[in-house]
């Protein structure tokens, strides 16, 4: 198999789906040489089968706004691969959502879920609905209409959605309420639920905490630690907030945060008082990050990304392709040694190459942000057992899972005396799913 021929076929079969092409290429670049050395995968066309979703569900979501006017959005669920467990992956509500974005996310999810060592297949869904600027009642009505259709396709042993951009505890609550009403059952068909209706302790914190645990593992491998490091975080949503919280606990200095309008630079670094303000601003008031700069008298840079600030470690935690080639050069020039991806596919293909040639430790999202889906997996286990584990127990399990993901990356990622975390994560994530697909035969 040859990369260019393989990618030509991917582009031909999925026209215009640029994010999906990018996600496939990022994986194929490592997997094709591996598959060429392991012909059992080539003979069974495993990679070709993996890039084709099992099922793509697209539906209209018609709902009524506060003025009584009908609004029409498009809903999606991509059930990508359930070789190792029920389809599992978040729902994203954002105006940029389209088939390409969700296919890239669903495809990556197969590998990420495999890395967690838990029995979860890959899926993703969402809508081009924008929760920003909508009233609570509008969000509720949208979620209910979205779930009216989605409920036909999900279930605790079939497909278990969770949150993502624009979908937090509020939206999951509204969707679960509707699911329960329609299906007449109280089951673990969604994760990220509130603690009083089947949610797991630490689910909200899990992606951010897990990302920091992964960064700590990368540093430990080089006899270093997070203490005293200067860290940039982008975004100010769920992943960013809990990445910041854990970094502060570890003694690191978090000096930036952002949203889609700009970033703040706080050279003194966040502390617990500033973090409490941030949580109230973003989780309760749904305000803008510029208000942080007003409150604490630091600089706000409109329409800029944080990557121009000198740092030791960068944690992109906002959205895909937020680090491009120029950003990567800027980060390296300003002293950055480690990039740990909290957001999915944070770096463009060319950006990855720049980090690679500079020998930067770069953790791909499928490894570094797998803590969120891992604790979702633990939420599913708790729901099946009818038990709730303690916060401490889940934190310990999360630490172990992130350590094991790191070990898998090291095992499969050794290259020229360094660890290629992308190669390690891609191969380790692939092998488990591929071997199970071989066991099933051609189905
Ligand atoms: P949230 O909706 O809570 O926060 C998203 C943050 O990113 C906001 O600050 C938002 O700013 C910013 N953002 C979104 N789109 C853009 C854009 N196009 N340009 C600049 N900034 C943008 O989402 P999450 O924190 O849950 O998710 C963030 C990332 O982490 C995503 O890539 C997601 O897929 C990934 N992820 C999330 C997991 C989870 O458990 N939540 C699990 C694994 C991965 P604004 O408010 O202005 O839009």
- 81 C-alpha vs ligand 1 centroid, how far in Å? 24
Q: In the numeric block, which tokens belong to residue 413?
A: 């990622």
DSSP 243-310: HHHHHHHTT-EEEEEEETTEEEE-TT---HHHHHHHHIIIIIS---THHHHHHHT-EEEET--GGGS-
Residue of the CA atom closest to atom 39 of ligand 1? 164
pLDDT given for residue 4 in this prediction: 98
Residue of the CA atom closest to atom 20 of ligand 1? 260
Q: Does any ligand 1 atom lie closer than 6 A to the CB of residue 364?
A: no
pTM over 0.85: yes
Residue of the CA atom closest to atom 17 of ligand 1? 260
- 305 C-alpha vs ligand 1 centroid, how far in Å? 14
pLDDT tens figures, 329-360: 999 999 999 999 999 999 999 999 999 999 99
Q: Does any ligand 1 atom lie closer than 6 A to the CB of residue 85?
A: no
pLDDT tens figures, 250-259: 999 999 999 9
Helical H segments across 349-390, by residue range: 349-357, 365-368, 371-385
Closest approach atom of ligand 1 to CA 239? 25
Closest approach atom of ligand 1 to CA 163? 41
Q: In the numeric block, which tokens belong to residue 435?
A: 């071997």
Instruction: Give the active site residue among 88, 112, 124, 204.
Output: 124
pLDDT given for residue 301 in this prediction: 98
- 316 C-alpha vs ligand 1 centroid, how far in Å? 10
Query: What is the block-wise mean pLDDT of the chain (443 residues), using blocks of 10 residues?
Result: 97 98 98 98 98 98 98 98 98 98 98 98 98 96 98 98 97 98 96 97 98 98 98 98 98 98 98 98 96 98 98 98 98 98 98 97 98 98 97 98 98 95 98 98 96
Residue of the CA atom closest to atom 47 of ligand 1? 260
Q: Does any ligand 1 atom lie closer than 6 A to the CB of residue 95?
A: no
CA distances for 220 relative to 207, 226, 421, 422, angstroms: 20, 9, 15, 18
pLDDT given for residue 290 in this prediction: 98
pLDDT given for residue 15 in this prediction: 98
pLDDT given for residue 304 in this prediction: 98
Structural domains of the chain ordered from first start: 3-186 (3.40.50.10860), 206-363 (3.40.50.720)
Closest approach atom of ligand 1 to CA 261? 47
Q: What are phi and psi of 363, to 5 degrees?
A: -95, 120
DSSP secondary structure letter of residue 421: H
Residues 6+ apart with CB under 8 A from 400: none
Site to probe by mutation for ligand 1, drawn from 239, 244, 323 as the one with most ligand atoms within 8 Å of Cβ, is: 239
Q: Does any ligand 1 atom lie closer than 6 A to the CB of residue 101?
A: no
- 292 C-alpha vs ligand 1 centroid, how far in Å? 18
Tokens 């660890």 belong to 419
CA distances for 249 relative to 228, 242, 266, 270, 425, angstroms: 11, 11, 17, 11, 27
pLDDT given for residue 33 in this prediction: 97
Q: Is 411 a catalytic residue?
A: no
Q: How far apart are CA 168 and CA 32, in angstroms?
A: 37
Q: Does any ligand 1 atom lie closer than 6 A to the CB of residue 316?
A: no
Q: Does any ligand 1 atom lie closer than 6 A to the CB of residue 342?
A: yes
- 272 C-alpha vs ligand 1 centroid, how far in Å? 22
- 157 C-alpha vs ligand 1 centroid, how far in Å? 28
pLDDT given for residue 189 in this prediction: 98
């Amino acid at each position: 198999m040859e990369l260019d021929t393989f990618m030509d076929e991917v582009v031909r079969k999925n026209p215009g789906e640029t994010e999906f092409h990018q996600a496939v290429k990022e994986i194929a670049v490592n997997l094709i040489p591996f598959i060429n050395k392991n012909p059992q995968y080539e003979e069974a066309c495993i990679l070709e089968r993996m890039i084709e979703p099992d099922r793509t569900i697209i539906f209209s979501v018609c709902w009524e706004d506060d003025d009584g006017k009908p609004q029409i959005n498009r809903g999606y669920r991509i059930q990508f691969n359930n070789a190792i467990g029920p389809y599992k992956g978040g729902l994203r509500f954002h105006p940029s959502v389209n088939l390409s974005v969700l296919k890239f996310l669903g495809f990556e999810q197969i590998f990420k879920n495999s890395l967690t060592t838990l029995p979860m297949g890959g899926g993703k869904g969402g809508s081009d609905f924008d929760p920003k600027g909508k009233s609570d009642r509008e969000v509720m009505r949208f979620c209910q209409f979205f779930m009216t259709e989605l409920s036909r396709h999900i279930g605790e042993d079939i497909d278990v959605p969770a949150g993502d951009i624009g979908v937090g505890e509020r939206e999951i609550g509204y969707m679960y309420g509707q699911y329960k009403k329609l299906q007449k059952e109280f089951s673990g068909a969604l994760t990220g639920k509130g603690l009083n209706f089947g949610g797991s302790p630490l689910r909200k914190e899990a992606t951010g905490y897990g990302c920091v645990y992964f960064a700590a593992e990368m540093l430990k491998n080089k006899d270093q630690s997070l203490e005293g490091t200067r860290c940039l975080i982008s975004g100010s949503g769920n992943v960013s907030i809990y990445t910041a919280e854990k970094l502060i606990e570890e003694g690191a200095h978090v000096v930036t945060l952002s949203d889609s309008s700009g970033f703040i630079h706080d050279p003194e670094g966040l502390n617990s008082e500033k973090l409490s303000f941030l949580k109230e601003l973003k989780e309760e008031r749904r305000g803008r990050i510029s208000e942080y700069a007003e409150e604490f008298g630091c600089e706000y840079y409109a329409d800029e990304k944080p990557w121009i600030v000198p740092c030791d470690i960068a944690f992109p935690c906002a959205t895909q392709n937020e680090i491009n080639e120029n950003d990567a050069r800027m980060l390296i020039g300003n002293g950055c040694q480690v990039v740990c991806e909290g957001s999915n596919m944070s770096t463009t293909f060319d950006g990855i190459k720049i980090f690679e040639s500079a020998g930067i430790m770069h953790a791909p999202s499928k490894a570094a942000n797998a803590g969120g889906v891992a604790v979702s997996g633990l939420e599913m286990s708790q729901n099946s057992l009818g038990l709730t584990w303690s916060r401490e127990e889940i934190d310990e399990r999360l630490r172990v899972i992130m350590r094991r993901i790191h070990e898998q990356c090291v095992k499969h990622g050794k290259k020229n005396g360094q660890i290629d975390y992308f190669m390690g994560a891609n191969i380790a994530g692939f092998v488990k799913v591929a071997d199970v697909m071989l066991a099933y035969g051609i189905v």
